[in-house]
């Protein structure tokens, strides 16, 4: 075997070889592997296996998946792309994962300001929804949310709202990745008369979307205080049978926990534990009120916690103890919650707020560093939704869910560390490109699958109807 033959690479997805030279005059060029897209960028932040930025990087994509990530010279030397895109002022990161929201609530943006949670919900939100909700409303509100999320770099979102089939249709039409938690509520609503009907309809949707490349259907009991014990037990049983996640609002504020004590004689966390719902499949949203023992219980059962700091602060609900949870080994993800309590669907703004809260509440500036917050906004979210083997980081084999931020504007200069610029520099408006599963949905700030003018006009019409 010659020297050259011994040095030929056996795979194209591992470490790539430098161009080889045989003898002293004949250049040997290894065969190039074809791929669909090669993205050249100033920085690439893969998040995993390493969260260190790669300077002057390239990402090769074949079909819907990433096939290589690394220094540009290495990737370019090994791949023959159909299309090359050069982003020489940009940072490319994994698509952001919004792990909790109610997309169609964009139509209630600004409708209930400066109210405590229970009044916000009982006096304004639920009556407005009861009066105005329809399939068209959910379609128009969801389309509006999808356009906003995409322009903020969100490629995967979780949703819990009425007409989950309509939400799934909107996401599929836009080309975005969605985990739709079909809503389970005891009281009659526009989508279901009771929890049994919600479970029945939701599981039928699960069958419809079982093999869909973009949409996952999961269980969404709204909260322990709006779903009966019997329905929660059925949810636990069916979710375990189908091996599906369960998302629920849990311990959002102190009044909710006090109410639990008077209704079931214990906190909702102990109550859900008794019903068998604490498990790695549970996505517990909010969790601002936690005793040490409850925190241990959550850690013991590997429950995922979804932190929605903006919504929690706006409704004066409390602060999720993210650092204590993380130190106990709990996976924490980030969510925007609905636009009626936020009012923006900007996940990097949530990451920044979460970092500031963690630093302030711990009195320790070393907590919640930028790399950890970016991981929480990407891989942490994917893990919470059970999608971490497919998305959440830029690694060969994973789906090509990518976002490019143009950090060339003077307001970011000089960029010393692109990761801290992403978390603390408020760069959401600098998103230039978004790909989901290798498909470009947003290019040079233009939507490729959505008619943004029509979406905006439809939303404006609802403002005059919903009040």
Query: Residues interacting with Zn ion, by CB under 5 A?
Result: 337
Instruction: Using the structure block, give the residue that is written with the tokens 């859900």.
Output: 272
Name the minimum Å distance from CB 286 to Zn ion: 8
- Beta strands 20-22; 26-28: pairing state: antiparallel
Name the minimum Å distance from CB 51 to Zn ion: 29
Between 337 and 401, CB nearer to Zn ion: 337
Between 101 and 418, CB nearer to Zn ion: 101
- Beta strands 332-334; 20-22: pairing state: unpaired
Between 267 and 336, CB nearer to Zn ion: 336
Cα 86 to its chain centre, rounded Å, is 26
**CA–CA separation, 283 vs 304, rounded Å?**
5
Hey, what are 40's tokens? 């050249």
What are the φ and ψ backbone dihedral angles of 104, each rounded to 5 degrees?
-65, -10
Between 283 and 326, CB nearer to Zn ion: 283
Cα 291 to its chain centre, rounded Å, is 27
- Give the residue closest to Zn ion by C-beta: 337
Name the minimum Å distance from CB 337 to Zn ion: 5
Name the minimum Å distance from CB 183 to Zn ion: 11
Name the minimum Å distance from CB 103 to Zn ion: 11
Between 252 and 323, CB nearer to Zn ion: 252
**CA–CA separation, 302 vs 280, rounded Å?**
5
**CA–CA separation, 231 vs 310, rounded Å?**
30
Hey, what are 221's tokens? 């009991």
In order, the DSSP letters of 353-390 are HHHHHHHHHHT-TTSS-HHHHHHIIIIIHHHHTT-TTT
Name the minimum Å distance from CB 401 to Zn ion: 23
Name the minimum Å distance from CB 150 to Zn ion: 20
Task: Kindly tell me the sign of the dihedral angle through the C-alpha atoms of 356, 358, 359, 361.
Answer: positive
Hey, what are 223's tokens? 């909260």
Between 76 and 337, CB nearer to Zn ion: 337
**CA–CA separation, 89 vs 80, rounded Å?**
23
Between 353 and 370, CB nearer to Zn ion: 353
């Amino acid at each position: 075997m010659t020297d050259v033959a011994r040095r030929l690479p056996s795979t194209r997805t591992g470490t790539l070889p430098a161009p080889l030279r045989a003898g002293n005059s004949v250049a040997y060029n290894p065969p190039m592997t074809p791929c669909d897209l090669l993205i050249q960028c100033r920085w690439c932040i893969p998040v995993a296996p390493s969260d260190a930025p790669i300077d002057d990087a390239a990402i090769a994509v074949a079909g819907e998946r990433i096939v290589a990530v690394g220094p540009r010279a290495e990737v370019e030397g090994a791949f023959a792309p159909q299309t090359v895109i050069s982003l020489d002022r940009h940072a490319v990161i994994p698509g952001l994962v919004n792990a909790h929201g109610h997309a169609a609530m964009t139509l209630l943006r600004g409708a209930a300001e400066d109210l405590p949670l229970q009044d916000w919900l009982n006096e304004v939100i639920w009556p407005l929804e009861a009066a105005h909700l329809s399939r068209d409303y959910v379609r128009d509100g969801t389309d509006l949310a999808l356009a906003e999320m995409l322009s903020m770099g969100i490629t995967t979102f979780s949703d819990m709202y009425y007409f989950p089939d309509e939400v799934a249709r909107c996401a599929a039409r836009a080309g975005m990745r969605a985990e739709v938690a079909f809503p389970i509520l005891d009281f009659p609503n526009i989508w279901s008369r009771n929890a049994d009907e919600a479970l029945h309809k939701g599981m039928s949707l699960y069958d419809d979307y079982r093999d869909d490349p973009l949409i996952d259907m999961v269980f969404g009991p709204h909260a322990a205080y709006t779903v009966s014990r019997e329905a929660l037990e059925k949810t636990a049983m069916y979710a375990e049978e189908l091996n599906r996640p369960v998302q629920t609002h849990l311990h959002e504020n102190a009044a909710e926990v006090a109410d639990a004590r008077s209704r079931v004689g214990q906190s909702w966390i102990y109550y859900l534990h008794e019903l068998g719902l604490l498990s790695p499949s549970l996505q517990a949203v909010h969790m601002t009120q936690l005793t040490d023992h409850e925190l241990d219980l959550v850690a013991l059962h590997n429950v995922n916690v979804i932190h929605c700091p903006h919504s929690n602060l706006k409704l004066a609900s409390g602060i999720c103890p993210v650092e204590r949870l993380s130190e106990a080994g709990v996976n924490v993800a980030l969510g925007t919650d609905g636009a009626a309590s936020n009012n923006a669907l900007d996940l990097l703004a949530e990451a920044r707020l979460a970092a500031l809260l963690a630093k302030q509440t711990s009195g320790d500036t070393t907590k919640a560093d930028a790399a950890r917050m970016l991981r929480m906004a990407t891989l942490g979210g994917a893990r919470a939704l059970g999608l971490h083997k497919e998305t959440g980081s830029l690694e060969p084999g994973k789906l090509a869910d990518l976002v490019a931020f143009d950090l060339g504007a003077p307001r970011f200069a000089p960029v010393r560390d692109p990761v801290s610029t992403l978390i603390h520099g408020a760069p959401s408006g600098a998103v230039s490109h978004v790909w989901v599963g290798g498909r470009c949905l947003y290019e040079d700030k233009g939507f490729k699958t959505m008619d943004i003018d029509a979406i905006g006009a439809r939303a404006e019409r609802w403002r005059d109807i919903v009040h």
